[in-house]
Structure 1
Amino acid sequence: MKIVVQVKLMPEAEQAAALRSTLRTVNDLACWVSRVAFARGVPREYELRQHTYAQLKAEGLGAQAAQHVIKKVRDAYTTLHANLRAGHLGKPKSKRRVKAASKPIAFRPEAAQPYDDRCLSWQYDAQTVSIWTMAGRTKNVSFVCSADALKTLRDYRKGESDLIERDRAFYLIATCEVPEAEQYEPDSFIGVDLGIANIATASTGYMAAGRGLNRYRKRQLDLRRKLQKKRTKSAKRRLKARSRREQRHAANQNHIIAKTIVTEAERTSAGISLEELRGIRQRVRLRKPQRVQLHSWAFAQLGDFIVYKARRAGVPLVYVDPAYTSQTCSQCRHVDKRNRVDQGLFICRGCGVVAHADRNASHNIAQRGENVWNAGRESRVPATP
């Protein structure tokens, strides 16, 4: 299983200048390669290399760096075409789709640049790296990370690492191949209902309330609005300092919630059943005040955290259809829209059971997960006469 580890570089002034100049140069050249690719109908990587490699070398790039620039451009177009085919950029002839497909892909000056082991070497004991730059090989560039991250790097780092610049600081994002634990046979399933009022509700009784996170987001939104109205230099400086703070806070909360759920499943030898919520932003219709909450909440991120933590722990995981889980009684299976009285209250019109709406939904998700798992285990071999 592939995961990434991020470390922060602590370069000296001369080293930082070399890294910054390198990123600016390779991304400027990537924009040029992108224009060539767009003009020639986005050829395959080998053909694109024939048109651009000599010029990249003449601009001072090393052989490996030139190859990575070409590959980065070709991968960007591959991703764009995949998004177009999947409809992620709108319907045919929509403004967003036409805009994306009618011009070459552009790369930001501080966009990530991939490095392989020929261009980058790690010294774990000294916590330094030796990295290729436009000024030559820059050695003894210090980096900092947690002890766990350093151990993961030492044991499992494999493949490319990306150099990025963010807020005038440099980071290396390294790819690590971590072995997955052997998956066990679950005794039961834990259903996880995801929402906004309650971020996650498990059928075991665990509930991660979203009140605190929603209040934090509202405070951040109000503060951003106030600072944006002022338009002063100090306001812009504060806005820049606070950028991505909400994103980091939400990601930390999602890590805590995911770890709690996976640890409980591992302790009880249970599997995890999740709702398939991909594309929910396109499916649901909300009033304008509710759209900020919906689009601010990391639906996919929490699910992805649960998935990769479950895979590392060997916990079985299945996805189920979320349709009618909030309207179905987990006791008698009666389905009625009126069963869901309000956001937090569920009263079954069939058997009269009263329950918390999210906990009732989590039990339905758990039952569906067990059905999906058992259906996957059923033999398709005809019975012997």
Structure 2
Amino acid sequence: MKIVTQVKLMPEADQAAALRSTLRTVNEAANWVSGVAFERGVPREYELRKHTYAELKVQGLGAQAAQHVIKKTRDAYTTLKANIKAGNLGKPGSKRRRKAESKPITFRPEAAQPYDDRCLSWQYDRQTVSIWTTAGRLKNIRLPGRRPRLEPAPQAPARPAKKLQVKGTKSAKRLLKKRSRKEARHTAGVNHIISKTIVTTAERTGYGIALEDLTGIRSRVRLRKDQRTSLHSWSFHQLASFVEYKAKRAGVPLVYVDPAYTSQQCSECGHIDRKNRVDRATFACRSCGALMHADDNASHNLARKGETMWTAGRESRVPATP
């Protein structure tokens, strides 16, 4: 789960001017990259990077800013393609669709620009941030006086299950069973919602579904003690079975793929290295320099494996119950 919070910076006049100028510069660069992508038939991000990265550095963009400009542009074309396929821009030949397909995507002068922890850092104790700009790194940009709340305060549990188990009375056992049934209903409800969303999205966009074969995950994966409860209490098999029967009912292709190395392999160049995973959320390829969210990278690898299996004639299958 990704937690997002919106924070408004409070720059001084000269800092605001530098930030505004930076936005204009990176979006002008994105428009240039978009033109290159359009001329070359919108290649994959890695291929697009080969044609644009060096020039962006010459234009004065830092390495990370250049990477984000390229990824932002490629993502915009991915979104456009998905909207066209879903029919959101009208039928083939419609005026709106012809207009979208006939020219490069353009970015507004002050359109949003992605930043990461190399471009922006937070100083919570001083309530300031430092941020990269085309005029150099700006420091001590003030944040609002109240610190943004990034996660909810922990709530005290009501009569933990362990205490009820130790108590061992009939009323405690009844309460445990009642709580267990409630958790099972909640899990099934959430799994139904997730599986329905996955299948309807695949059906609408004309794609198939590739799921990781997680047979034996509970015995294979080593986790910290505080992570074990969430893993062992959630029904991965149930979610997979819900996705499968909904996919069959909707006529959506589904395959199970080997998850080996999907988190370590670069989806752009194929390089495999444990060090590619910088942290839980960040993937940075040590071979080609691709930078993306780790889950995004893994999903591309799973999609490619699924496509390979499907074209090879493998039928959908459900792994053995753990």
Q: TM-score, normalised by structure 1?
A: 0.41
User: Which structure: larger Rg?
Assistant: 1
Q: Which has the higher strand share?
A: 1
